[in-house]
Structure 1
Amino acid sequence: MADKRFFAKSGSYSIADLAERVGGELMNCPAPDTVIEDVASVEEAAGSDICFVENRRYVAALGSSKAGVCLLPRNIADRAPEAMPLIVSERPRRAFAKIAALFYPQEDHRTGVDQSAHVDPSAELGDGCFVGPGATIGAGAKIGAGVKICANACVGEAVVIGDGTVIGENASVSHALIGARVVIYPGARVGTCGFGFEVDESGLVKMPQLGRAIIEDDVEIGANSCVDRGSGPDTVIGRATMIDNLVQIGHNVQIGKGCIICGQAGIAGSARIGNYVVLAGQVGVGGHLEIGDGVQVAAMSGVSNSIAPGQKVGGMPTVPINDFRRQIAAVKALGRRKSDQENK
């Protein structure tokens, strides 16, 4: 259950109202006007809470749950307690996310410029902005309406930030055009110098990084992640792409819309990632490669060749996911045979 010291609840809602908001079907609900006070896990829910169950792994917990109503798929509805009201949904996790956001909207109504912040006189701030303690905004920056620039964040010269964007504590943004409703989490770095050099026996020459970082609308960039600016072409993150914590995105990388880049993934310079691609945790993508639309890459994989659209791959180097699973099975079988031989 949400700790009220950190999360403010918006109110209470009837079962019928919640079902309507997520397009769910009521089952076993003789009193649809019953008021639900909060969201909770299936194990912790009380009689005034709503919970959700998505798959059969949690059926045992569902059978003993005290929840006032449960969101679940139709195929496990018969495993719920007889007296428990149900909201049947094809995607109960998604529905629960919407309901949790209804109970606990992530709203930040702060406005104004803290007296310890520094805003260059030539910077433009839209209506309803908030600039937190110690934050800095450089010359010529253009900040849209309702933007939140949190404590000690740094917005560089000439940066453009769209309406409703949030720049988290201690984050920095430079050489960048940022869209609307973007969230850059604490400690993230956007627009930093890309990693490019020319090396021979006479020494190292650093390549000037003269491009930008372009972050389209509704993107999120996780805590302590880094998005380098381009070296000449731009680095581009497409609309509604979600980037987890501790991710490195190199210079000139282009990522399409709706991608999911999980923690500790790294994408080397000039790689091109299509739309709706999923890179699981600790995936490494080599430079100058192309990953097609809808590709899914398993955790801890190394991508060393381009991947056609729609493929599911894994391993180091990556192979089709079924081949990867066979490789793992073969290694396990080899280990068992060796162990059996040693024990004879």
Structure 2
Amino acid sequence: MTDDRFFTRCGPFSLGVLAACSKADLAEGASTAVLLRGIAPLETAEADDVSVFCDARRADAFAVSRAGAIITSAKLAAHRHDCANLLIARDPRFAFAAVGLMFHPRCTDTAGISGTADIHATASVGEGCRIDSGVVVGAHAHIGEGCHLGANCVIGDGVEIGPQSVIGCNATVSHALIGAGVRIGAGTVIGGEGFGVVLGPAGLMCSAQVGRVIIGDNVRIGGNCTIDRGALDDTVIGSGTMLDNLIQIAHNVRIGRNCIFAGQSGVAGSAIIGDNVMVGGAVSISDHLTIGSNVRIAGKSGVAQDVADGAVVGGYPAVPVRQWHRQNLALAAMIKKPGTDA
């Protein structure tokens, strides 16, 4: 359930308004006037809640849900149900996300600078910023309008942060130029020294890491991630890209626009990744590879060679996903005991 102690609630909204804002169509018999007050799962939704049915495996829950309205697709709407108010969307997940943000928009931060924040005299802070206790902002750093710097975060010398960006508690940002509308989670480290280790006559030596981190607009970076600055070139995260929690991006990596990285994935140094790439959880991408645009990489895969545009790969090492499935079937057949089903 949504606890109003933690989340701002707007509404109620009529079904007609929700349909218009989510670009969904009203199913036959649905009432545009019915009022809805929140969002909830199929299993716990009540008569004033909106829910979503986007997976046929949840047909049993759809059949008995008490939700006042349910967003689904034309195909899934054919499953048995008792809901009189269906919203039909091409992409039910996307429509439900839009509805959710209507009921629970992101909070508008109250502007103000804590008396315990340490802001260097040469730093500039735009209007309408909220800077919480314990924040450190270094020399010549620039913080754009309407930013929120969470408690105890550190913004290094010369860093630039675009307007309406949010830096989470205890995050550290150095050697970086960050765009507008960026959200960085708590505990994340951006701009740290990359792992440039070389072996010399006297043992191991760390080479100079003199690049930057460049982050485009509307990027989301989860909690406890690390994005290393470049060694000689820059590390780049393209606009619209979304990184889950616990992700490592090494020095000189270049990631395109609108990519998605699930948790615990990692990219080794100098890899180049195109636009609209989807990377599953715990994926490892080796150094100096080129991953084309519109690529899909299955979770827990290990990518050890270049991947062409539009390819779907999986496995360890990653191969075309159909080949991976055939390998798994062949391996299962080899180890199957005679006369058993296991």
TM-score class, shorter: over 0.9
Whole-angstrom CA distance in 1 between matches of 2:173 and 2:81: 52
Give the equivalent residue in structure 1 for 2:329: 329
Whole-angstrom CA distance in 2 between matches of 1:134 and 1:339: 68
> Any idea what SS the aligned residue of 1:337 has?
coil
Determine if contact 1:260/1:276 at 8 Å carries over to the other structure: yes
Determine if contact 2:36/2:50 at 8 Å carries over to the other structure: yes
1:306-330 CA distances to partner (integer Å, 9 max, x unpaired)?
A: 1111101111111110010111112
> Within 5 Å, which residues of 2 pair with 1:78-227?
78-82=78-82, 84-227=84-227
Whole-angstrom CA distance in 1 between matches of 2:131 and 2:2: 28
Whole-angstrom CA distance in 1 between matches of 2:75 and 2:55: 9
Amino acid at match of 2:298: A
Cα separation, partners in 2 of 1:83 and 1:247, compared to 1, 3 Å? closer
Comparing 22-31 with 239-248, greater Cα deviation is found at 22-31
Amino acid at match of 2:98: K
Give the equivalent residue in structure 1 for 2:53: 53
> Percent identity between the aligned chains?
39
Comparing 73-82 with 319-328, greater Cα deviation is found at 73-82
> Any idea what SS the aligned residue of 2:57 has?
helix
Amino acid at match of 2:291: I
C-alpha RMSD of matched pairs (Å):
1.5
Determine if contact 1:67/1:84 at 8 Å carries over to the other structure: no
Determine if contact 2:109/2:148 at 8 Å carries over to the other structure: no
TM-score, structure 2 normalization: 0.97
> Any idea what SS the aligned residue of 1:74 has?
coil
Give the equivalent residue in structure 1 for 2:19: 19
Superposition deviation, residue 11 in structure 1: 1.8
Cα separation, partners in 2 of 1:134 and 1:313, compared to 1, 3 Å? same
Give the equivalent residue in structure 2 for 1:319: 319
Superposition deviation, residue 109 in structure 1: 2.1
> Any idea what SS the aligned residue of 1:332 has?
helix
1:35-55 CA distances to partner (integer Å, 9 max, x unpaired)?
A: 111111111110111111012
Amino acid at match of 1:168: G
Superposition deviation, residue 195 in structure 1: 0.5
Give the equivalent residue in structure 1 for 2:38: 38
> Any idea what SS the aligned residue of 2:270 has?
coil
> Within 5 Å, which residues of 2 pair with 1:66-77?
66-77=66-77
Determine if contact 1:214/1:236 at 8 Å carries over to the other structure: yes
Aligned residues: 342
Superposition deviation, residue 77 in structure 1: 1.8
Give the equivalent residue in structure 2 for 1:264: 264
TM-score, structure 1 normalization: 0.96
Superposition deviation, residue 83 in structure 1: 5.2
Q: Which runs of 5+ in 2 are unaligned?
A: none
Determine if contact 2:247/2:265 at 8 Å carries over to the other structure: yes
Amino acid at match of 1:206: C
Structure 1's consecutive aligned runs of 4 or more residues displaced over 6 angstroms after TM superposition are: none
